[in-house]
Amino acid sequence: MKPMCGIVGYIGQKQAQNILLEGLRKLEYRGYDSAGIAVYNDGKLNVKKTKGPLSALQQLTDKDPLSGEMGIGHTRWATHGKPSDENSHPHMDEKQQFSIVHNGIIENYLDIKEELQEKGYTFASETDTEVIAHLLSELYDGDLVSTVQKAVKRMEGAYALAIANVMEPDKLVAVRLASPLIVGVGDGENFIASDIPAILEHTRDVYVLNDGEMAVLTQDRVELFTTDGTPVNRDMLHVTWDAATAEKDGYEHFMLKEIHEQPKAIRDTLAARLKEGVVDLSREISLTPEELKRFDKVHIVACGTAYHAGLIGKSVIESLVRIPVEVDIASEYRYRNPILTPSTLVIVISQSGETADTLAALREAKQAGARVLGITNVVGSSVAREADEVLMTWAGPEIAVASTKAYTSQLIAIYLLGLYLARVLGTQPEEQLLEVTEALPRLSEQVKSILEDHGSIRKFAEKIAQHENLFFIGRGLDYPVVLEGSLKLKEISYIHSEAYAAGELKHGTLALIEEGIPVIALATQQAVHDKMVSNIIEVKARGAHVLGLGLEGRTDLDRSVDEHITIPETLSLLTPVLSVIPLQLLAYYTSTARGINVDKPRNLAKSVTVE
Amino acid sequence: MKPMCGIVGYIGQKQAQNILLEGLRKLEYRGYDSAGIAVYNDGKLNVKKTKGPLSALQQLTDKDPLSGEMGIGHTRWATHGKPSDENSHPHMDEKQQFSIVHNGIIENYLDIKEELQEKGYTFASETDTEVIAHLLSELYDGDLVSTVQKAVKRMEGAYALAIANVMEPDKLVAVRLASPLIVGVGDGENFIASDIPAILEHTRDVYVLNDGEMAVLTQDRVELFTTDGTPVNRDMLHVTWDAATAEKDGYEHFMLKEIHEQPKAIRDTLAARLKEGVVDLSREISLTPEELKRFDKVHIVACGTAYHAGLIGKSVIESLVRIPVEVDIASEYRYRNPILTPSTLVIVISQSGETADTLAALREAKQAGARVLGITNVVGSSVAREADEVLMTWAGPEIAVASTKAYTSQLIAIYLLGLYLARVLGTQPEEQLLEVTEALPRLSEQVKSILEDHGSIRKFAEKIAQHENLFFIGRGLDYPVVLEGSLKLKEISYIHSEAYAAGELKHGTLALIEEGIPVIALATQQAVHDKMVSNIIEVKARGAHVLGLGLEGRTDLDRSVDEHITIPETLSLLTPVLSVIPLQLLAYYTSTARGINVDKPRNLAKSVTVE
């Protein structure tokens, strides 16, 4: 759903400048470091671009407005070359005939650049994008469409482009290869955007481009082709989604709002799938019991927070279904030649359904003959469209860069899947499954009770905000939870935090434990409780200041730690849904205590649609 | 081989004090934070103990020597309670009748302590050890041996003990449960020690105690029993190992010496197993080709550095043998109820062969019916004795806490195993196996050439020594190597360093990349080279100062990084043996630049024989 850079394009009868600026503003929350627009007027493409926020760009256009009814705009999140005026988009060729905005990476840009430099082209920026403008100029044959087709053949990578030129000012071209792009269809005007909100106030009728497709827009028409030139017929999508759902509902930040939406997200994700103690996914998953029985191996593939959900998925599926599960980082999985057979079930997890590495893994797994089940939060996303089976999370739009409600909803989807497989395959006694299915719906209220009582977490957050380094430790199912808690804290507080399987600290990292360093220790797993207390005593003995997080009613933890918070009691298998909540709050309050813009941490984008 | 705490005991006709102090000195390099001795004289056990180095203890005994011919000594590495005079061993009961030294953990000590407190006992320290002394006093029935047997029944955990009392000054008792302990047999004198070097100048005849066994020593006799009282017959071991091999050979530190011993360790580990392009392990591995064919799953289980070798083992075995491999941290594996069947091959890796969690995993896997293959560096270690199959690394004694030559030797053992399995099972064409087997012996010379040219690494080390945080990144087989490089740096330089799969940085941790932060980037894997360069450009764009490590002859890396070093070209599969060498040197020189005692980093012990 959410591109790394924002792209907007307009062609019609209104002034383009403000439509482009407004569109970019709608994409602002995804993070960017510079912005720019190009507007066509009287034989020229005039550009304004600058490092910094949109307000800086607005100052430039206020001083010297760009007139014209066709143009493109861009918010940039640096990949090649640092944030600067020169590196901002749009980029142009030397003759100022072509203007380009671009999301993604041209992997072979250095080769193309050297080739063009030999031909005498000089470059104004460090970006891969500028290379495209010069390449188009070099290849131009009098027809923008065929020129773009030729250029695309030379470009390796993953990208989305919007292209204007001065020779054919009656058209805009959009190209998608592995980076989201849509076309909005209006009345006497048409739009390009990297995501729907950018154009929602102008039209609700859109075409979603697929990989390897391009669109040619005039003010009255939109034509879709493959980049080979074959015409494409696509159904128009009518968007009913309401832009207002993305508002903050009175919370100071989207992240805090989304943390508090978790009881609802959990309820919504459970609803209609869980009835009278039985999980039924047969309406969503088309695999028959016979087909399900054939799986002898599960691979879970994801990135970032979703990868942490996958680690918990391994425990859940292995313990309930007794099929071996391997969990992989998507960017590694693709290139390690995994052992895939038709009896491998590959589960990919992506909130946006557009995470580039995860999507690539999905495609390779399908190609290798494996069956792919996608867990995603966005209807109509690439994962939702391309996976053989889809299990939706119903968390609603997630805006904050740091994922919270999408993550807990992914966990719920995993529990549902594990329980469903266990029931269909008969791998666990009914009464054991019943115990879990009865505990699941209680999680929503339990999360709520944790959210209501966050005073001590906030106090602890204010303490750790003074530190530059800290550790998280946990064993068993607490281990993936501390990985997630640590990532959350890193993302939005910039504290160097590392999470460890508590028993592993002794094998090297204990050297970093010194007087006063905060250690956040999870101890919710009954089976390893005593071992965990021993690990806590180890770091205490070296001077660590320990926050212990345990279960209500287990009173011995507070004897061993400096500060102690609890979560309500539930089955050991389900604790991750509860124990992550205080860690989300900890990250949030630490970030605000350090005066950081929680929703827009530096260097990060909401979803990563380049590799 | 190497216990966490050091234990020495003496009973004979000589003055015990100096024999105990000398023995402790021989164990010094394993790391400790306090030391103490107790010597019997004239109805009393007199104790000297102190926080700090052995020289501090020596000052106490110089001022006020302890006379007597029986005693026990200890170097402590804190687990329960911080390093302090009170927490040092030996510990005594309130009546000063029993004196104890202890290695390991009594897991239920809080329960026993509370019970004894209710009976009126008061405690002088925070340790679990002191509880044992009071428990012996409470249970004493006039016979030390039967009293110890009763006490052991109450104590849960993993430990080794040496015990003296004033009522029976003609004997010493030693007990082993999952923590190494030996008895040395002399002429009119006998010894207890946690490891052989402690007593090597007095005797070369030793009994190695097994778990659940105890020894009763008088000056003329040694008797072995199980802790249930059943007599044990044990062959005496005659030690031929030369204490002088553990010297530093002119290097400033053991670690540097061991880094330079790697060409030899690689050669020795390959020798006799690799002939005319064919790997033959049939003299060491008793599994028949038919038995080998039956394996459909491999689990690799290890801790710390050996775990990183295991991660590389996964790639090696999966690519050569096409059997799915799961790699687990031993402390997690034991408690996660892994799916084990008779067709699972479990590979455990431990330099010392005594790593407590690894050993426990080995035992559980055997109990579950899996076949276990141990890779270890110590003949006669618990792993070597208990695994079904053993593949030795021939790295020679490793003294430095930070493992180097043992690690590269483990990698060599893994390549040999992968090649052997692939040949026996016919999973790869002969010529492909030949390509690898021919490249293997060249690694030794290639490592040597890297060691000879370390000037730029040393210079970079001096730079990063100024920093408190940095990152390592890599993809594919470079990823486990950066994990190892990062651990090495953490262990001995105390710099907060985290290693990332480069494609995963974008999913959160990129927030921590700020102007000037050092990033060490490995780019030795051809298949992901361009992706890796893109990741390097990402961190560069955010101001990181990048050291790139690539292959000789791939010249494009230096265009993208700030500093550039290379390793000789080899197969992508084999690069980990070479690429880790500059990272070991980097850790070493960073540590010395920071003025840290490389061989004895704070908080760490050479091998971890408690959980």
- What is the average pLDDT across B577-587? 98
B interface mutation test: which of A507, A529, A533 has the most B CBs within 10 A?
A: A507
How far does B105 lie from chain A, in Å, by closest CA?
Answer: 8
B473 touches chain A (CB under 8 A): no
Percent of chain A at pLDDT exceeding 70: 95
Query: Does B511 contact A491 at a Cβ distance shorter than 8 Å?
Result: yes
Query: What's the CA gap between B265 and B278, in Å, rounded?
Result: 20
Parallel, antiparallel, or unpaired: how do β-strands B34-41 and B91-92 relate? unpaired
Residue type, B562: D
Residue A602: both structure tokens together: 């530096």
Residue whose entry in the numeric block shows the structure tokens 């695994």: B387
Measured between CB atoms, which of B357, B479, B490 is closest to A512? B490
How far does B301 lie from chain A, in Å, by closest CA?
Answer: 12
How far does A267 lie from chain B, in Å, by closest CA?
Answer: 27
Query: What's the CA gap between A118 and A128, in Å, rounded?
Result: 17
Measured between CB atoms, which of B332, B490, B542 is closest to A511? B490
Residue A208 dihedral angles phi and psi, to the nearest 5°: -95, 120
Say if residue A183 is exposed, middle or buried (CB neighbours under 10 Å; 0-12, 13-18, 19+): buried
Query: What's the CA gap between A350 and A410, in Å, rounded?
Result: 9
> Rounded to the nearest 5 degrees, what angle is found at the Cα of B329, between the Cα atoms of B328 and B331?
125
Query: Does A608 contact B305 at a Cβ distance shorter than 8 Å?
Result: no
A506 touches chain B (CB under 8 A): yes
Q: What is the ipTM of this complex?
A: 0.71
Give the CATH number of domain A6-247: 3.60.20.10
pLDDT class of A2 with cuts at 50, 70, 90: very low
pLDDT class of B43 with cuts at 50, 70, 90: very high
B494-524: b (≥16 Cβ within 10 Å) or e? bbbbbbbbbbbbbbbbbbbbeeebbbbbbbb
B243 touches chain A (CB under 8 A): no
What integer best gives the mean pLDDT of chain B?
91
Query: What's the CA gap between B492 and B482, in Å, rounded?
Result: 16
Query: What's the CA gap between B173 and B355, in Å, rounded?
Result: 24
Query: Does A508 contact B531 at a Cβ distance shorter than 8 Å?
Result: no
User: CB atoms < 10 A from the CB of A64, how many?
Assistant: 9
pLDDT at B597: 86
pLDDT at A1: 25
Partner A, chain B 553-582, Cβ-Cβ below 8 Å: 556, 559
Query: Does B336 contact A324 at a Cβ distance shorter than 8 Å?
Result: no
Query: Does A315 contact B336 at a Cβ distance shorter than 8 Å?
Result: yes
Query: Does B79 contact A512 at a Cβ distance shorter than 8 Å?
Result: no
Q: What is the pLDDT of residues A414-430, one digit of tens each?
A: 999 999 999 999 999 99
B414 HSE (CA, 13 A, CB side): 31
Catalytic residues of A: 5, 606
Say yes or no to pLDDT of B12 above 90: yes
pLDDT at A31: 61
Q: Are A307 and A450 within 8 A, CB to CB?
A: no
pLDDT at A454: 85
Q: For domain B453-593, give the CATH superfamily.
A: Glucose-6-phosphate isomerase like protein; domain 1 (3.40.50.10490)
Collect all residues of chain A within an 8 Å Cβ-Cβ radius of residue B110: 556, 559
CA distances from B475 to A108, A332, B113, B394, B549 (A): 19, 7, 50, 30, 12
Q: DSSP 3-state assignment of B560? A: coil
Class of domain A256-447: alpha beta
CA proximity to A410, closest of A576, A249, A298: A576
Q: What is the pLDDT of residues A63-99, one digit of tens each?
A: 999 999 999 999 987 666 677 888 889 999 999 999 9
pLDDT at B286: 93
Concatenated DSSP letters for A564-587?
EEEE----GGGHHHHHHHHHHHHH
Say yes or no to pLDDT of B180 above 60: yes
Collect all residues of chain A within an 8 Å Cβ-Cβ radius of residue B602: 511, 514
A479 touches chain B (CB under 8 A): yes
Measured between CB atoms, which of B338, B541, B601 is closest to A79? B541
Q: Are B180 and B354 within 8 A, CB to CB?
A: yes
Parallel, antiparallel, or unpaired: how do β-strands B157-165 and B297-302 relate? unpaired
Q: What is the pLDDT of residues B229-268, one digit of tens each?
A: 999 999 888 877 666 554 566 688 889 999 999 999 999 9
Query: Does B608 contact A507 at a Cβ distance shorter than 8 Å?
Result: yes
Q: Are A149 and A229 within 8 A, CB to CB?
A: yes
CA distances from A140 to A223, A315, B97, B199, B422 (A): 21, 56, 97, 85, 54
What integer best gives the mean pLDDT of chain A?
91
A159 touches chain B (CB under 8 A): no
| Residues 6 or more apart whose Cβ sits within 8 Å of residue B571 | B435, B436, B439
Q: What is the pLDDT of residues B522-541, one digit of tens each?
A: 999 999 999 999 999 999 99
B468 touches chain A (CB under 8 A): yes
Query: What's the CA gap between A468 and A39, in Å, rounded?
Result: 46
| Residues 6 or more apart whose Cβ sits within 8 Å of residue A18 | none
Say yes or no to pLDDT of B207 above 50: yes
CA distances from A27 to A57, A197, A200 (A): 15, 7, 11
Percent of chain B at pLDDT exceeding 90: 74
How far does B438 lie from chain A, in Å, by closest CA?
Answer: 23
Collect all residues of chain A within an 8 Å Cβ-Cβ radius of residue B323: 339
Collect all residues of chain A within an 8 Å Cβ-Cβ radius of residue B475: 331-332, 335
pLDDT class of B1 with cuts at 50, 70, 90: very low
A86 touches chain B (CB under 8 A): no
B261-300: b (≥16 Cβ within 10 Å) or e? bbbbbbbbbbeebbeeeebbbeeebebeeeebeebebbbb
CA A323 to chain centre: 28
Measured in residues, chain A has a length of 611
Among B5, B26, B48, B303, the active-site one is B5
Q: DSSP 3-state assignment of A143? A: coil
How far does A187 lie from chain B, in Å, by closest CA?
Answer: 39
A510 touches chain B (CB under 8 A): yes
pLDDT at A611: 62
Mark whether B606 is an active-site residue: yes
pLDDT at A33: 77
pLDDT at A85: 86
CA proximity to A86, closest of A55, A134, A129, A29: A129
B52 touches chain A (CB under 8 A): no
Query: Does A504 contact B331 at a Cβ distance shorter than 8 Å?
Result: yes
CA distances from A547 to A542, A559, A560, A586 (A): 15, 12, 10, 11
Partner A, chain B 349-378, Cβ-Cβ below 8 Å: 357
pLDDT at B246: 45
CA A134 to chain centre: 32
Q: What is the pLDDT of residues B353-385, one digit of tens each?
A: 989 999 999 999 999 999 999 999 987 789 998
Q: What is the pLDDT of residues B409-458, one digit of tens each?
A: 999 999 999 999 999 999 999 999 999 999 999 999 999 999 998 888 99
Domain with CATH 3.60.20.10 in chain A: 6-247
Say yes or no to pLDDT of B38 above 50: yes
Say yes or no to pLDDT of B564 above 70: yes
B247 touches chain A (CB under 8 A): no
Say yes or no to pLDDT of A165 above 90: yes
H/E element, A326: strand A325-329
CA proximity to A480, closest of A502, A460, A450, A506: A502
Residue whose entry in the numeric block shows the structure tokens 């391994």: A314
B379 touches chain A (CB under 8 A): no
A537 touches chain B (CB under 8 A): yes
Q: DSSP 3-state assignment of A19? A: helix
Say yes or no to pLDDT of A29 above 80: no
Residue type, B421: L
Domain with CATH 3.40.50.10490 in chain A: 256-447, 453-593
Tally C-beta pairs within 8 A across A and B. 214
How far does B573 lie from chain A, in Å, by closest CA?
Answer: 11
pLDDT class of A447 with cuts at 50, 70, 90: very high
Q: What is the pLDDT of residues A196-245, one digit of tens each?
A: 888 988 998 999 999 999 999 999 999 999 999 999 999 888 877 666 55
Query: Does A339 contact B330 at a Cβ distance shorter than 8 Å?
Result: no
Residue whose entry in the numeric block shows the structure tokens 């599994």: B287
Q: What is the pLDDT of residues B468-525, one digit of tens each?
A: 999 999 999 999 999 999 999 999 999 999 999 999 988 888 888 989 999 999 999 9
How far does A361 lie from chain B, in Å, by closest CA?
Answer: 13
Query: What's the CA gap between A151 and A141, in Å, rounded?
Result: 11
Q: Are B506 and B538 within 8 A, CB to CB?
A: yes
Collect all residues of chain B within an 8 Å Cβ-Cβ radius of residue A476: 332, 335-336
B interface mutation test: which of A471, A603, A606 has the most B CBs within 10 A?
A: A603
Query: Does A513 contact B603 at a Cβ distance shorter than 8 Å?
Result: yes
Collect all residues of chain A within an 8 Å Cβ-Cβ radius of residue B513: 603
How far does A104 lie from chain B, in Å, by closest CA?
Answer: 11
Query: What's the CA gap between A130 and A119, in Å, rounded?
Result: 16
Among B26, B51, B600, B606, the active-site one is B606
Nearest residue in chain A measured CA to CA from B470: A496
A453 touches chain B (CB under 8 A): no
pTM: 0.73
Query: Does A541 contact B78 at a Cβ distance shorter than 8 Å?
Result: yes
How far does B77 lie from chain A, in Å, by closest CA?
Answer: 10
Q: Are A502 and A551 within 8 A, CB to CB?
A: no
pLDDT at A3: 34
Return the sign of the alpha-carbon dihedral for residues A87, A92, A93, A99.
Answer: positive
Collect all residues of chain B within an 8 Å Cβ-Cβ radius of residue A83: 541
Say yes or no to pLDDT of A515 above 80: yes
Collect all residues of chain B within an 8 Å Cβ-Cβ radius of residue A610: 506
For chain A, report the end-to-end CA distance as a whole number of angstroms.
Answer: 15
Q: Are A441 and A278 within 8 A, CB to CB?
A: no
